[in-house]
Amino acid sequence: MEIQTFPNEIVFFDLETNVPNKTGQHFHILEFGAIIVCPRKLEELESFTTLIQPKDLSMASLRSSRSDGITRAKVTDAPSFEDVAEKIYGLLNGRIWAGHNIRRFDCVRIKEAFAEIGKAAPEPSGIIDSLGLLSDKFGKRAVNMKMASLAAYFGLGVQKHRSLDDVRMNLEVLKHCSTVLFLESTLPNQLEGKWQSSSKIMTRSRSHHQMVQKAMPYTKGSLGKMTQNVKKS
């Protein structure tokens, strides 16, 4: 049977894993999250996320330093990677893969996970790694190239280190960065390198005709809004 592929669709995905703290210890996937994105409008078409139970439950921490972090209790009743491998394969295979630092981390972990269960790993039709892309094009305006720093630079909130939240944040960071770079390209001598890392903008008060500073929080309806009624899988 011919395997259906979608070479022009982009799938942003992210993995949450344990952090090896002993020599010889391996990474184990604890969560997978992905969104399929229309390349023409950069709208979210479909989403999927699942916690994953590692073969050795001791690989998941008993406690997490984050309020919504992944703990051993959360993955105890989760499906194994083998249980969700077919779904993950269908989401990834033949699409353009996108994510932050995926070339060196997520892509490697996915191949390892499929090899461990003796199945062929999905293959991308292309890869967009926002870490390499933004390092080259956007520079260190946000001090460093961590997703948390880039999100803070644009006032997009705090990175949660949960797969689905992080891929959505990744997409929004790319939208904001590309907008800045597009504007700079129109007037490079005036705009390039002049942007400030502030989440506040100056607005004019109609009643007092004065410039006042107002915080403009990010909302889904702002630049790069996501589609509503996202299909769940």
Parse the chain into domains and list their residue ranges.
10-188
Rounded to whole angstroms, what are the CA distances from 108 to 71, 93, 137, 184, 210? 23, 15, 25, 35, 54
- Supply the residues annotated as catalytic: 161
pLDDT digits 0-9 by tens, 179-233: 999 988 888 777 765 554 444 444 444 444 444 444 444 344 333 333 333 344 4
Distance between first and last Cα of the chain: 23
Superfamily for the 10-188 domain: Ribonuclease H-like superfamily/Ribonuclease H (3.30.420.10)
CA distance 229 to 218: 19
- Per DSSP (E only), the strands in the chain are 10-17, 29-37, 44-51, 96-99, 126-129, 200-204, 211-215, 231-232
Whether the model clears a pTM of 0.85, i.e. scores above it, the answer is no
pLDDT digits 0-9 by tens, 70-116: 999 999 999 999 999 999 999 999 999 999 999 999 999 999 999 99
